Structures are given as structure tokens and as C-alpha cells.
Structure 1
Amino acid sequence: MSGSSRRSAPWMIAAALIAAALVAGATTAASGDGPSDAPTADVASDPTLSVALAYEFLDARVDEFCDGAGHCLPRSYEGGFFTDLPTWDFTPSFVYDDALVVIAYTARGLPDDIRRAQTIGDTLLFVQANDPIGDGRVRTSYEPHGIRQGRVEITGPGTFTGNQAWAGMALARLFHATGESKYLDGAVRIAEWIQTNTADMARAPFGYTGGQLENGSSLEWKSTEHNTDIAGFFTQLAQLTGDPVWADRAAVATAFVAAMQSADGHVDTGTLLDGSTTNVYPVPLDAQTWTLLGTGDPRYGAAVDWALANLMATDGPYTGPSISHVDTSKVWFEGSGHLALALKLRDGAGDADRAEALLSSIRLGQRDAANGDGKGIVATSTDGLDSGFGDLYYASLHTGATAWYLLAAAGDNPFSLPVD
């Protein structure tokens, strides 16, 4: 196995919660949003309005679950599959999504944006400090109802390397935006956990393994996505701390990513369990887009072109990429966001038009997609998109997809610190 644990986490955790009935009778989120509340203005043709409403969606999600100490944690998914079953309302907050929300807020940078970003960042520090192991890690997901009650309730106990790096990048962004050293301190603790627990300099291609399961066992495969995350995160730490060791470690991750690129330009998902043999199935979108965003290396422009040729989907009025080559029947709006951003930043011939077409389709989904509210972005154009990693994705409102859209609209690369 190899790939992105964050991909499979929503469905796998959902299934476990259903089986155990752990969330039966959970309080339904009182967002006040719904189809009847959808704005009458045409967000599909007004990018400025669309962005403003997408931030309103995030604002409502962040403000929904807060304690008296200034900790807030937004639920990741709402509506459709994740809300409408008779006995449950799936509310967990995934740290990957939370990190994207933090970075999207810093991209606009209004005073209330920074305030909300800090409430999430302070929550990441809170769960880090109160982890039962307490060695600097964060977990896959947490229950916002617990945060609102001032306690840490872990819903996804795995410690996956990519999630660690994303939480670290969010804290690095907050330090860059605020100058408050607690955020950099928390980011360095996460980075040290990654280095201590996942660095593999014994099995070529050298790089970083997948992390740890709840029982403490290590995931021995290496993921292109995770190593891309580390390349971006450790490069940021080198800039913020002035310590060149982080640049050296980023170079290890970057070299692993390069080793995963195939002759036709596409980038494979990582390795098999032996940590060395390339895993060629499935071929995911983020290995094609994040490699360019995370390393800045123009060689991955070929991977973006491969994605445009092989991963695009059309589902009714919506056009955009899928999650992997396994199922290209539906649009993955989260992926539309980072593909649009990669095209914007590559800025080759025709890239601006391609990016705008993707953003236009997201805005159309913002207005019309099933289970939408006219503000946020749903994860997929319709239910049941097979990721190729053993799980399905659904047309439910998603903080992560919304944040990626906002980053793409702003042209803000989450893998890099803003230029002062």
C-alpha cells in the first residue's frame, strides 16, 4: 500500500463510527445554511462575490464549534452523505482541512481572518499539548463537539506524515502572519516528530515513510504526496528558523519525489511496503499538481500536462479533474482548486484560460451542486467518486475544497511562504 491516508480517512472513519454507533444522536450542526437560504445573486459569474461567500461559509464553520478559551475547530464535511443518514451527523474535523482553512485565511489576511486562523492554530497547539503520547504529534482528526467542551476527543488516531506536515505549514503561516513564536515552536515540534519517526535513509530511494498507526506500528511505505508536503514544510522552516538542517532534510524529500517521476512525465504515488519498489497504481492527481507546487521545479509541468490529458472528468455541467485515473466519471472540486493553482503559477501558454475554466466550473458547483448552500464548495460533483485508494467521495460541503478554491482564486501557494 502507498498513498494518502487523508484521502481514505473520511470514509473509513465514517464506517467505523456507523458500526459502533458512536455518533448516533449527535447534535445537528446549526449552521443556518441550506438551499432555501442560498443567495439569489449569480455567484457562478461573479468571482468577487463567489470568493466573499466562500469565506462566509468558512466563517460559519469556524464559529460553530468554539470553547471559552478561544479554541475553534470546524467540521470538515456537512450535508448529503455526511449528515442525512437517520441516526448520525458526521462532524469530525480533519487536520489537513483545518490547515488549509488557516492558510486560506492568511491569504486574504483581514483582521477577522487572522483572528479565526489563530483560533484554529491555537486549537492545533492545544491538541498537540494534550495528546496522550505527547511527543509533538497531532492526529488525523478530532471531534469539534469535544473542543467546544474544552477537551480533546480524537476521532482519527493515526499519525500520518502528510497530515503532520500540513499542520506544520499552517502553524508556520501563522508565525509568518503574526510573529507569535508559539506557532513556530509548535511547527518545529511537529517537524522533529516527522524526522525522528519517519526518516528513512536505509532504503533507496531515501525519503520519509507514511507515519504510524494507532498502535504505534510504523507505515513502511513512502508517499509522493507526503514527501512533497515535507519538502514544502521543511523549506519553510529553513526560512523561518535560519537553520540549514531543515533545507538539507527538505532536499531528501525533494529527491524522493523526483525518483517517482516516470518517463512520460507523470509522477507515481510512492512505494510499496518495502519502501523501495515503485507503486504504480493508482496514479493520483495530487502527485501531479502538488509536486510542482511543493518543489517549484519546472520538471513537474509535465506531470500537470499528464493530468490534463488523463485525469479530466465531465459530469453534467461540471468539468475538472478526478482524484485518480481509476474513476474519471465525476469532478473532484478540491482537485480542481489545486490544479487551477498549479496552472496559474506555471503560467505557460494557455494556462490562465485553463485555470479560469476550472474556477468557473467550481463557481457553477458553488451555485448548483447537490447538497450545496450557495457559499461553500462540495467535495465532488455527485456522490460516489472512487478515489482508487479504497474509498468513495461524496457531494457534501467541504472546508478543504472551499479553502483550495480560495487559494486558487488568490494565486496563493500553501507550500510556500508569502513574499514580504
Structure 2
Amino acid sequence: MSGSSRRSAPWIVVAALVAAAVLAGAAPAALGAGRTADGSAPGGGAPDAAQSVALAYEFLDARVDEFCDGAGHCLPRSYQGGFFTTPTWDFTPSFVYDDALVVIAYTARGLPDDLRRARAIGDTLLFVQENDPIGDGRTRASYEPHGIRQGRVEITGPGSFTGNQAWVGLALARLAHATGDPKYLDGALRVGQWIQDNTADMVRAPYGYTGGQLEDGTSLTWKSTEHNSDIAGFFTQLAQLTGDAVWAERAAVAADFVAAMQSADGHVNTGTGLDGSTINTRPIPLDGQTWSALATGDPRYGAALDWTLANLMATDGPYTGPSISEVDVSKAWFEGSGHLALALRLRDGAGDADRAEALLSSIRLAQRDAPNGDGKGIVATSNDGLDSGFGDLYYASLHTGATAWYLLAAAGSNPFTLPGD
């Protein structure tokens, strides 16, 4: 998976646990139509935008409140239903990438209960950081919410991947900005320093940041466009919050790496091979296109958004949206619909508002009708079995990350920038 997308490495955890469950005789639950918010069968008009947003926040509220300890730490499970919830097996781990998105979505609306829940998750991220077995400022890919509810840290995804670290940092930076509490900035700085100390590569051009570390401490030598996009946004926020120009200089290194990955036709490649220099040209992930635009604000990535609209769009029954990569465009990936809609809204070129609204409308339709839905949350994909191109499959199961991206797109809130920037 050299140079692969940020999310593919954490999904190794899912694959391993799914394989174990299948060997134990677990079978995926049969697909069924979703239910509307009042429990009735699908049908009739889809909820309007305001109602849809309110229902999506209700979904996140329930997930956050499900697994909390007496100290106020809460951690929502990432996936539920369908493939991940069967009569004999229930997959409950919480991926820190998803947790970060939930935190940022709560700060985007900013109601008192939103900030309370955002702080509960942020405090949990600080808790797992402080209680890590190595204790050098890192966090891991995923944790077990049942462990958090019992007041302990149970690591389910032990890898320390650079993109995930940066997303934890983005969540803590956003909390520092929203609350003024210095503990969140302190935690974000510890994450940032871990990334700098363990992944900066100023030897092998194009310079940038490598993939992080495996459980055994082995360093990943490839560089990912998604990781470097994450870092560009995160380090820029650290520079703004601290006034320390060194973080802006480091952000520029990451942004320059992303620019080096752009092809002549406008699309952005996934990253490098193991040598840290040779460009890995396949697969071509959606993240590389949308996050390059969102994290840097550089208009050159408008060409990447246009390439996405021409090459990665999928239609699956009533649903339309981007896929994860060009490898499989048979199903819509609603998490990607969220960040593509946001990128189009922020670009605001001719036709972009209509394109973004079409993506959001399809998400709202899925919120009501998609397999394994509950009328509130957003499922990851329009149907089971979407091939990412990076060795994993995605499923139509309720997903906190997809729901949070929808809310950010609906609000026009960019997770890679601080509000007001």
C-alpha cells in the first residue's frame, strides 16, 4: 500500500476482525430499506435541509452519549448496522479520524450541548494520548469505546499513522480556537511535534512527511498526498494559534509535496512508493483531489475537482456521488460526497453551487432511504462492497465520519481552516 490513502491502513483492523468473525460463523445482516425518523417506511418527500441537519446531529448525539465514563470521557463507535452488526458480532471500535470530524462538526454549529460533547471527545483524545504505552505524544488509529466507558484505554488499531495524527491535531486545534482552553493547544502541539520528529523527510525529494509507524515501531517510508494535505492544514492552524512561524514553514513543505503530486491533466496522484520519491500513479483517490483543494486553498486544485467530476462520479439507483477511486465507480461514497460538496461550495465557480446541492440532496435521500439507515445518520456507501482500490471494501453501514462530513458541507465549514480565517 505504498503511498496509499490515509484511511486504508486503519481499515486493516476492520479486515482482520471481520475475517475472525466470518471464521466464527458470523454472517452479514441482510440489507433492508432504511426507516424515516419516526420509524415509518420510506416514502414521500425527503426532509428539507434544516430538518436533515438536525436529524444528523441527533444521530451524532446518540453515538457520543452511548460510551462515556464517570469522568466525562466519551468516544463514539464509528460504524453500526449492516455488515458491522450481526446476530453474533458487533464491530464497535472508534477511529480517531472519525472522532476528529465529529468534534469539528460540533464546533461548526457551536450550540452549548455541541461544545460539551465536542469537549468530551477532545478530552478523551487527550486521555488516550496521555495514557499511551509509549507516551511520546502519539495517538493510535482506533480505540474501543467499551474500554473508555470503563475508564481505561483499549487500543484496537495500534498503528501510528501520520494522517490520523494530523486529524487528532485538527480536532484539538479547533477546540482550542472554540473554547480558549490551553490544554487542547498543548495536546495539538504534542501531536504536531510527534509528526515532525518521526515523519519529516527532508532528504528524499519531493520533501514532505512519511506515513508514520506500525505497531512494532517500523517507520513507513512512503509519502501520502492525503497525509501531507492533512499536515498542511494542521500546521497552518498551529502557526495561527501559537504565532510561531516555524509551523507555517513546515506547513509549506507539506503543501509543496502535494503540489508535486499534481499531474498534467489536473488530477493529484496518491503519493510515492517506498523510496519516497517515485510517484505512485494508481489508484487515484478522491481524497487527493478534494483535500488538496480544502487544505491548501490553492486554486490550482480546481483542475483536480474538475477531473473528479469527469472521472469519479457514480450512479447507484437513486443515488449519485463520487466513488473512492477510479478502480470502482459502481457505488456512491457518501463521506466523499460531503467533502466534494464542500470543496465545490468553497470554490464557488460557475455551476458549483448546483453541483454541491445535488450531492447534498443525494445524501439527504440516503439519510432517509439507504440500506441499514435509521433516518438520521448517513451510511458510508450507497450499497455494500465498494472497492476502494487500496485492498479494502466499504459498506452501507451508519458512519459517524460520513455524517460529520455531511454536516460540515451543509454548514460550509472547512475542517482544514480555523473559523474566520
Distance, in Å, in 1 between the alignment partners of 2:127 and 2:181 is 15
Deviation, structure 1 residue 273: 0.5
Structure 1 residues 20-419: aligned runs within 5 Å? 20=20, 35=35, 38=38, 44-84=46-86, 86-419=87-420
CA contact (8 A) 2:232 2:252 kept: yes
Give the letter for the 2:273 counterpart. L
CA-atom RMSD in angstroms: 1.8
Q: Give the unaligned 5+ runs of structure 2.
A: 27-33
CA contact (8 A) 1:43 1:363 kept: no
Distance, in Å, in 1 between the alignment partners of 2:368 and 2:55 is 11
Distance, in Å, in 1 between the alignment partners of 2:120 and 2:25 is 27
What percent identity do the matched residue pairs reach?
81
CA contact (8 A) 1:23 1:88 kept: no
The change in CA–CA distance for 1:364 and 1:20 in structure 2 (over 3 A counts) is: closer
CA contact (8 A) 2:36 2:368 kept: no
Deviation, structure 1 residue 25: 12
TM-score, structure 2 as length reference: 0.95
Secondary structure of the corresponding residue to residue 155 of structure 1: strand
Secondary structure of the corresponding residue to residue 377 of structure 1: coil
Q: Render the CA deviation track for 1:295-340: whole Å, top value 9, x for unaligned.
A: 0000000000000000000000000100000000000000000000
Q: Give the unaligned 5+ runs of structure 1.
A: 27-33
Deviation, structure 1 residue 135: 0.2
Secondary structure of the corresponding residue to residue 354 of structure 1: helix
Give the letter for the 2:278 counterpart. T
Deviation, structure 1 residue 119: 0.2
CA contact (8 A) 1:8 1:390 kept: no
Distance, in Å, in 1 between the alignment partners of 2:45 and 2:71 is 36
Secondary structure of the corresponding residue to residue 35 of structure 1: coil
Distance, in Å, in 2 between the alignment partners of 1:36 and 1:335 is 23
Secondary structure of the corresponding residue to residue 315 of structure 2: strand
Secondary structure of the corresponding residue to residue 376 of structure 2: coil
Secondary structure of the corresponding residue to residue 195 of structure 2: helix
CA contact (8 A) 2:147 2:154 kept: yes
Distance, in Å, in 2 between the alignment partners of 1:267 and 1:76 is 28
Deviation, structure 1 residue 22: 12
Secondary structure of the corresponding residue to residue 320 of structure 1: strand
Deviation, structure 1 residue 35: 3.4
The change in CA–CA distance for 1:145 and 1:303 in structure 2 (over 3 A counts) is: same
Distance, in Å, in 1 between the alignment partners of 2:289 and 2:387 is 18
Deviation, structure 1 residue 14: 2.5
Deviation, structure 1 residue 13: 1.4
Give the letter for the 2:151 counterpart. G
How many aligned positions are there? 411
Map of 2:30 onto structure 1: none
Distance, in Å, in 1 between the alignment partners of 2:107 and 2:254 is 26
The change in CA–CA distance for 1:249 and 1:63 in structure 2 (over 3 A counts) is: same
CA contact (8 A) 2:5 2:287 kept: no
Deviation, structure 1 residue 8: 4.6
Distance, in Å, in 2 between the alignment partners of 1:91 and 1:325 is 30
Asked if 1:16 is matched to 2:16, the reply is yes
CA contact (8 A) 2:37 2:376 kept: no
The change in CA–CA distance for 1:43 and 1:115 in structure 2 (over 3 A counts) is: farther
Distance, in Å, in 1 between the alignment partners of 2:47 and 2:127 is 41
Deviation, structure 1 residue 16: 2.0
Secondary structure of the corresponding residue to residue 193 of structure 2: helix
Secondary structure of the corresponding residue to residue 44 of structure 1: coil
The change in CA–CA distance for 1:239 and 1:147 in structure 2 (over 3 A counts) is: same
Deviation, structure 1 residue 38: 4.3
Give the letter for the 1:296 counterpart. G
Q: Render the CA deviation track for 1:144-197: whole Å, top value 9, x for unaligned.
A: 000000000000000000000000000000000000000000000000000000
Q: Render the CA deviation track for 1:29-82: whole Å, top value 9, x for unaligned.
A: xxxxx8386455967240000000000000000000000000000000000000
TM-score, structure 1 as length reference: 0.95
Secondary structure of the corresponding residue to residue 156 of structure 2: strand
Deviation, structure 1 residue 341: 0.1
Q: Render the CA deviation track for 1:67-124: whole Å, top value 9, x for unaligned.
A: 000000000000000002x421000000000000000000000000000000000000
Stretch of structure 1 that moved more, 40-49 or 366-375: 40-49
Distance, in Å, in 2 between the alignment partners of 1:227 and 1:23 is 37
Give the letter for the 2:74 counterpart. C
Secondary structure of the corresponding residue to residue 90 of structure 2: coil
The change in CA–CA distance for 1:284 and 1:266 in structure 2 (over 3 A counts) is: same
Give the letter for the 1:77 counterpart. Y
Give the letter for the 2:309 counterpart. L
